[in-house]
Amino acid sequence: MTVQQEALAGGEALEVWIDQDLCTGDGICAQYAPEVFELDIDGLAYVKGSDDELLLAKGATAPVPLPLLTDVVDSARECPGECIHVRRVADGVEVYGPDAE
Ligand code: SF4
């Protein structure tokens, strides 16, 4: 079973972060999952906290709500900067994104 299948089958808690150093600012992620991603005035994408505030700290993570998992995964797959990382909260293993197996 792949880490992706494990994560889905187990309903494991996932979190997402963006490497802004690689973000192209095209906004694909914010189109796919506006509940999770948003562009700031600097033109780069950030994840949002539970209060809808952008999390501007480097490497900041936001939880991935299960109903939005498909949208977040599509964002990671389509991200031209390859800078959206989805990982398991429990052990930090990347499940979707450039560093996933
Ligand atoms: S899809 Fe990737 S490159 Fe495009 S704005 Fe979002 S994080 Fe940045």
Per-residue pLDDT of 54-75, as tens digits, reads 999 999 999 999 999 999 999 9
Q: Using the atom order of ligand 1, give the atom closest to the CA of residue 81.
A: 3
Is the CB of 33 inside a 6 Å radius of any atom of ligand 1?
no
Domains for the chain: give ranges and CATH numbers: 3-96 (3.30.70.20)
**CB-based contacts of 24, cutoff 8 Å, min separation 6:** 80, 81
Strand 84-88 and strand 37-39: the pairing is unpaired
Our mutation pick for probing the ligand 1 site, out of 24, 44, 61, counting the most ligand atoms within 8 A of Cβ, is: 24
pTM of the model: 0.94
Confidence of residue 27 (pLDDT cuts 50, 70, 90): very high
